[in-house]
Amino acid sequence: MSLPPAQITGPSAWYGPDMAQRSAEWIRPFTAAEIAEIAAVAGPLAEQQVEIASLRQADFPLPTLGPILADLKQEILEGRGFALLRGLPVADWGLRMAATAFYGVGLHFGRACSQNGKGHVLGHVQDLGLSSKDPNVRIYQTSERQTFHTDSCDIVGLLCLKQAKRGGHSALVSSVTIYNEMMKRSDLARHLFAPLATDRRGEIAPGEKPYFEIPVFNWHAGLLSAIYQRQYIDSAQRFEDAPRLSAETVAALDLFDALADDPALNFEMVLEPGDIQLVHNHNLLHDRTGFEDWPEDAEKRHLLRLWLSPEDARPLPEVFRQRFGSIEPGRRGGIILEETKLVAPMTARG
């Protein structure tokens, strides 16, 4: 087992309160000219109802904004790990225009991946009145707190269309900082470098187990990458053939959660309509607080989501192939089943 140094330094090893004070560094408003440039491409595509899932970066040229997004992508992949683009006029645009614009901007960060067994490359994050107690329900389909986790991709993007009546705030924490703090306090971190079962929640590709076995912490090519969803680690224990969690591993997971939840490490941000949040999954975890929604369907909390795979993403260890399908940058991540056909639905139940 290859282990990192006891303390990892660099721009991704940040603390939440400090980062919250530096919002001018990571909030980047769109200019009027940039919005016009996006609209000039997205407008005709939306009007013609072009299948969004068929689009490639070349179909969405952004001669002025594109180089800015390329620099921002490097900051996400190699720097602090996240950014917030602010100010798309989504209320004026309507759903299809906003979805097309978001997808086109997202393509400048990577190829879009399927987010479920239905092949949805455009996800709708909404409360569908479901409960995570159902082993085939994923938490983003509920109004529950998600808890800190990673998604099955290199970069996750969110576009806020509608805010909740109360709550539903986004939170981030550095998994590098969590590792550093664990190492300061105990030797429990070493238990998270061993594979452990994580529930696939019913989305199982041919020949795969109903769970994957990847360590929470992975040290590869001089980089620490994390993959984590505590609820799905716990629910994988329902499978008789899943490796049992040792007392030491449970203690390590509990310490990991306590540190992730510590306001000395994490911070919250409020996504406003028109905001695009971009997060590097390999060295950050994200969370969403529980929320109370509006009673009117037209006003309910609604975000669009992208899972993105950049061609210049970091190398990943072989074990990630279990979840990512491939470990080739630009061709990895997402959930692909035998019957999967890529689509970009306009509703959460599409």
Residues β-bridged to residue 329: none
Nearest CA to 313 out of 305, 302, 324, 323 is that of: 324
Asked whether residue 337 is assigned to any structural domain, the reply reads no
Task: Provide the pLDDT for residue 137.
Answer: 60
Residue 120 lies in a domain: yes
Long-range contacts, stretch 290-296, CB < 8 angstroms, 24+ apart: 290/143, 290/144, 290/145, 290/167, 290/168, 291/127, 291/143, 291/164, 291/165, 291/166, 291/167, 291/168, 292/143, 292/164, 292/165, 292/166, 292/167, 293/127, 293/143, 293/164, 293/165, 294/164, 294/165
pLDDT at 302: 94
In-domain check, residue 330: no
What DSSP designation does 121 have? S
pLDDT in the model for residue 297 = 85
Rounded-to-integer distance, Cα 50 and Cα 95, Å: 14
**pLDDT tens digits along 25-34:** 999 999 999 9
In order, the DSSP letters of 126-195 are ---S--TTSTT--GGGSSS---SB--SSSEEEEEEEE--SEE--EEEEEHHHHHHHHHHH-SGGGGGGS-
CB of 309 closer than 8 Å to CB of 332: yes
> Which residues are within 8 A (CB) of 46 and not within 5 positions of it... i.e. 6 or more apart?
96, 97, 99, 100, 101
Contact 332, 152 (CB under 8 A): no
Measured in whole angstroms, the distance separating CA 210 from the mean position of its chain's CA atoms is 21
pLDDT winner (highest mean) among 107-111, 124-128, 205-209, 343-347: 107-111
In a domain, 64, yes or no: yes
What average pLDDT does the chain have? 93
What pLDDT was estimated at residue 207? 86
Distance of CA 137 to the CA centre of its chain: 17
Q: How far is CA 1 from CA 5, 219, 243, 248, 250, in A?
A: 13, 9, 18, 17, 20
Q: Which residues contact 107 (CB under 8 A, 6 or more apart)?
A: 55, 56, 57, 59, 60
Q: Is residue 105 part of a domain?
A: yes
pLDDT tens digits along 293-308: 878 888 889 999 999 9
State mean pLDDT over 308-315.
Answer: 98
Q: How confident is the model at residue 83 (pLDDT cuts 50, 70, 90)?
A: very high
* Contact status, residue 102 vs residue 274, Cβ threshold 8 Å: no
pLDDT value at residue 140: 66
Q: β-pairing, 223-226 with 267-269?
A: unpaired
Residue linked to tokens 């993403």: 313
Percent of the chain topping pLDDT 70: 95
Q: 304: domain range?
A: 17-324
Within-domain flag for 339: no
* 332 assigned to some structural domain: no
Residue 148 located in a structural domain: yes
pLDDT class of 134 with cuts at 50, 70, 90: low
Question: Cα(5)–Cα(18) distance, rounded to whole angstroms?
Answer: 24
138 pLDDT more than 70: no
Split into its structural domains, the chain has a count of 1
Percent of the chain with pLDDT over 90: 80
CATH code (residue 288)? 3.60.130.10
In 3D space, the residue among 243, 233, 285, 255 whose CA is nearest the CA of residue 188 turns out to be 255
Residue type, 200: R
